[in-house]
Structure 1
Amino acid sequence: MKPEPNRSMEYHVLPPKGLLNDPNGLIYYKGLYHVFFQWNPHGTDHSFKYWGHATSSDLVTYEYHEAALQPVDWFDKNGCYSGSAIEHDGKLYLFYTGNVKSEEGERTSYQCLAVSEDGMSFKKLGPVTRHPEGYTQHMRDPKVMRGEDGVFYMILGAQRDDLTGDTVAYRSEDLLSWEFMGSIMSVREKLGYMWECPDILKLKGKDVFVFSPQGLEPEGYRFNNIFQTGYYMGCFQGGRFHWDGQPFEELDRGFEFYAPQTFVDEKGRTILFGWMGTMPSEMENAMPTVKEGWVHHLSLPREVSTAGGKLVQVPVEELRSLRHEKKEYSGRNIGFEIPHRAYELGIRLEGNVETFDLLYRNEIKIRFEAVGRRFIVERTNWATSLRETRSVTLDGNLKSIEIYTEETSMEIFINSGEEVFSLRYFAKEDDRKVSMEIEGAGSGIEAVSYRLESGRE
């Protein structure tokens, strides 16, 4: 029997039951978008890791399938950890990390391969690499890609023996035999104790190295989550990433975003999914959805590009098909009630904006202050009941905001995707109020809203 979510979520990938974390194996294969994900179908903790599997023809509605990979073999018996997918000779290749723990709790990691001819049933071929010297067993999350030279490259999140983070590369001619190449970094900045979920984005005019370092200390508005996700700009060639030297830049300024992965679809777009769920254990255990038997979901699919030396993210255009009941608002003070908790709100700001404030369901507060160009998002921490904020300094004035919300999540796209905030939230069931206010000479708000509904029965 195929698992199927049974909740009032409209357009995110979520677990049929249990716990979901990292997106895995994203690919467009044989006419379908395949979205795999880390999945514990047995509970809402991290004790088991399968590869869950969903497919879509439109990136809007998803069909859920039986688990693609299960931790039942000697090389993955304690978890089929994160990885990626690639098509070769008409077959779908899944690369993942097999996690094995001894009775003493010692970890061994194996980089493994499974192959499919239909995208639904997979044959495991077991480990395909040897563990290199100089690195601990914290090596995982293989991302496999074909280089411009026709050679296949595998990059892996890693930890050196000196307990600092790194990313390493292997090369292969056939996806079966792999040669170790060493660190991908020509110059390596010290960032935490482990780099997870590495990815290389080949975008117009620039390559982007995305990864998720663990162990960064907060720096003002930066690095305030338990773990971070960000990127370097540069050039990836021959298994090495030549970094431009720009500082590590956070990919998402919100509260939970982590472990993103990208793929290139049949239209040539680079599309990203992330996990909206990394948080301290006390928050995870206190998630209200635990009572319903599930936790966490993926982000919206986002099309990514570069502009002005930054990575830009916008919701994929297919999500526009969800729009119903368009309403328009204008003025300096606006108030209304939303008809549905799956909702899109587009805001344009005119004139000399000094401050802008938005209150959503008496739970989420958004504020922009022109002095310092500070953009602030505030919510309630459901474990402590205390208010908490995330902030960013914009490159210029605030011009536009696009907000997608569902029952317990919000994604905020600022200035056409220049900055993004992702977060979970829990508001009162019957509170649907939205209010906006702007200050500044000649300033005003133009807003448009939509109820979002997939039409799925």
Structure 2
Amino acid sequence: MSLDQQLKKKASDQVNEKGSIVKKDPFYPLYHIAPPVGLINDPNGWIQWNGTYHLFYQWMPFKAGHGAKFWGHVSSEDMINWKEEPIALAPSDWFDKDGCYSGSAISFNEELLLYYTGNVKNNNIREAYQCLAVSKDGRNFEKLGVQIEVPGGYTAHFRDPKVWQEHDRYYMVVGAQTEKEEGSVVWFSSEDLKKWQFGGMLADGFGYMWECPDFFSLNGTDILLFSPQGLSASGIDYRNIHQTGYIAGKWNKGTNQFLHEEFVELDHGFEFYAPQTTMDDQGRRLLIGWMGVPDQDEQLHPTIENGWVHQLTIPRELTYKNGRILQKPVEELKQLRKQQKYHLELNTQKIIMKDIPKASEIKLDIQANENVKIDFFEHLKLHFDTSTHYVQLLRPKLDGTGTEERVAVAEQLTDIQCLIDHSSIEIFINDGEIVFTSRIFAEPSNNKLTIQANGELTVWELAK
């Protein structure tokens, strides 16, 4: 048995041994992608291939912590029911022995190609290689080894290739750190997905490392999406340890000029990082992110006691309007609505509901520009103050030392949509103009929702 086969078998044995304990955790999600055991982080290889959605993810099967990452793999016909597929990649070769790091997928000649970063550490010296694996059936992958090495002028913090096609040419963006230890994104191009030509730096300007870049167009505007590290908090902005956002503009590939606007945070919640997008056969730009942040108190998550940590976001459809990206849950998720628990007209009086399911959808259509207060399970609070225009999300700190908050600004609120899944909440405000993504570790037996607003409230219980 090869080392690759040994590692995959060891990981599969771990799932068989401990997976049932993980699934019984009251915090384990119903409809989000979560690890069968161990740790999940960045979504990888997000693609619709031969009509089926495929999603790969960074995975450490042997502990609820980081280490030499595998690529886990799930597939779906509807983005609701996800099927566990065989492990796609294991850290088994000299060029990826310390981790098969993040990357992307593309279809070529009826094959599914995975580009990823091989992480290598020898005597604490880091090496990084952009590697390729190929599959004819979308389930079993053959590694073809190193395709790109780190170009001059950059450190070995050089990773997370995202590949796409435009007309008859292929492009790749890679997250990078310059030798001056400044964050950036570089790009390559190819005619055949084999020989890659270095195009230079696409963008830079702040932070010490830019991770998980993605490049696409929305409504005629070019978008560079990435996760910069090294931004300091500034007022209500950049409050997580590391951020995720985008710059929008126009990229002239001939001159390599990317004229763009300022960096905009994509999500204002406590846990959101490393998103990746794909275009499906309906022409939708679909995003999935990691519901976590590197270096941000994950050792305090209560799920670690049951051998797992983190999950991914729901799939979201992106649009671009008035100079901003809007995010909305994909239409398919409405199929989760099992029954309507409540449909109420609110008139600013406080309403208390004591039987809100921990897998539920809450929709509030606001009829007057007044203050809004929502208390989820006596744990998480969402407030809107018309005098400050602040939308404020508050929750207990994971270490139990007090309360923490995240804040966004809105002239007024028109609607709020919340998708709750046992230990997570995704809040979409004003048709997806503002989004908060967060973990919520409320007491499992607490099903209380308190709301004070002026509008129409609907609550659905969700089930597969």
**TM-score (norm: length of structure 1):** 0.94
Q: Does 1:162 align with 2:177?
A: no
Unmatched 5+ residue regions in structure 1?
Answer: 439-443
| Cα distance change on mapping 1:305 and 1:370 into 2, 3 Å | same
Which residue in the other structure is 2:406 paired with?
Answer: 390
Is the 8 Å Cα contact of residues 17 and 293 (structure 1) preserved in structure 2?
yes
Q: Does 1:24 align with 2:39?
A: no
Q: Does 1:403 align with 2:412?
A: no
Which residue in the other structure is 2:31 paired with?
Answer: 11
CA distance in 1, matches of 2:452, 2:276: 37
| Cα distance change on mapping 1:31 and 1:352 into 2, 3 Å | closer
Does the residue aligned with 2:192 lie in a helix, a strand or coil?
coil
Q: How does 1:145-184 map to 2 (within 5 A)?
A: 145-148=164-167, 150-184=168-202
CA distance in 2, matches of 1:249, 1:391: 14
Unmatched 5+ residue regions in structure 2?
Answer: 1-8
| Cα distance change on mapping 1:358 and 1:204 into 2, 3 Å | same
Which residue in the other structure is 1:50 paired with?
Answer: 70
CA distance in 2, matches of 1:402, 1:38: 29
Q: Does 1:141 align with 2:160?
A: yes
| Cα distance change on mapping 1:230 and 1:342 into 2, 3 Å | same
**TM-score (norm: length of structure 2):** 0.92
Q: How does 1:2-401 map to 2 (within 5 A)?
A: 6-7=23-24, 8-102=28-122, 104-148=123-167, 150-185=168-203, 188=204, 190-238=205-253, 242-280=257-295, 283-326=297-340, 327-331=342-346, 332-333=348-349, 334-353=351-370, 355-394=371-410, 396-401=411-416
Query: Match for 1:263: what amino acid?
Result: T
Does the residue aligned with 2:149 lie in a helix, a strand or coil?
coil
Which residue in the other structure is 2:430 paired with?
Answer: 415
CA distance in 2, matches of 1:240, 1:170: 14
CA distance in 2, matches of 1:98, 1:35: 19
Query: Match for 1:446: what amino acid?
Result: E
Q: Does 1:447 align with 2:457?
A: yes
Is the 8 Å Cα contact of residues 84 and 143 (structure 1) preserved in structure 2?
yes
CA distance in 2, matches of 1:39, 1:153: 26
Which residue in the other structure is 1:441 paired with?
Answer: none
Deviations 1:200-232 (A, max 9, x none): 122122111101000000010000101000001
Is the 8 Å Cα contact of residues 76 and 83 (structure 2) preserved in structure 1?
yes
Query: Match for 1:313: what amino acid?
Result: Q
Query: Match for 1:413: what amino acid?
Result: F
Query: Match for 1:228: what amino acid?
Result: Q
Deviations 1:314-333 (A, max 9, x none): 00000000002212011222
CA distance in 1, matches of 2:237, 2:48: 34
Query: Match for 2:362: what amino acid?
Result: L
| Cα distance change on mapping 1:418 and 1:240 into 2, 3 Å | farther
CA offset at residue 63 of structure 1? Answer: 0.7
Is the 8 Å Cα contact of residues 368 and 455 (structure 2) preserved in structure 1?
no
Is the 8 Å Cα contact of residues 175 and 210 (structure 2) preserved in structure 1?
yes
CA distance in 2, matches of 1:414, 1:215: 28
Is the 8 Å Cα contact of residues 97 and 119 (structure 2) preserved in structure 1?
yes
| Cα distance change on mapping 1:370 and 1:240 into 2, 3 Å | farther
| Cα distance change on mapping 1:447 and 1:243 into 2, 3 Å | farther
Deviations 1:130-169 (A, max 9, x none): 3210000100000001124x21111100000000001111
Is the 8 Å Cα contact of residues 402 and 413 (structure 1) preserved in structure 2?
yes
Instruction: Indicate the structure with greater helix content.
Output: 2
Deviations 1:103-145 (A, max 9, x none): x200000000000011000010001113210000100000001
| Cα distance change on mapping 1:244 and 1:74 into 2, 3 Å | same
CA offset at residue 237 of structure 1? Answer: 4.2
Deviations 1:324-377 (A, max 9, x none): 221201122222123420010000111231x11111100011100111211000
CA distance in 2, matches of 1:184, 1:53: 30
Query: Match for 1:157: what amino acid?
Result: G
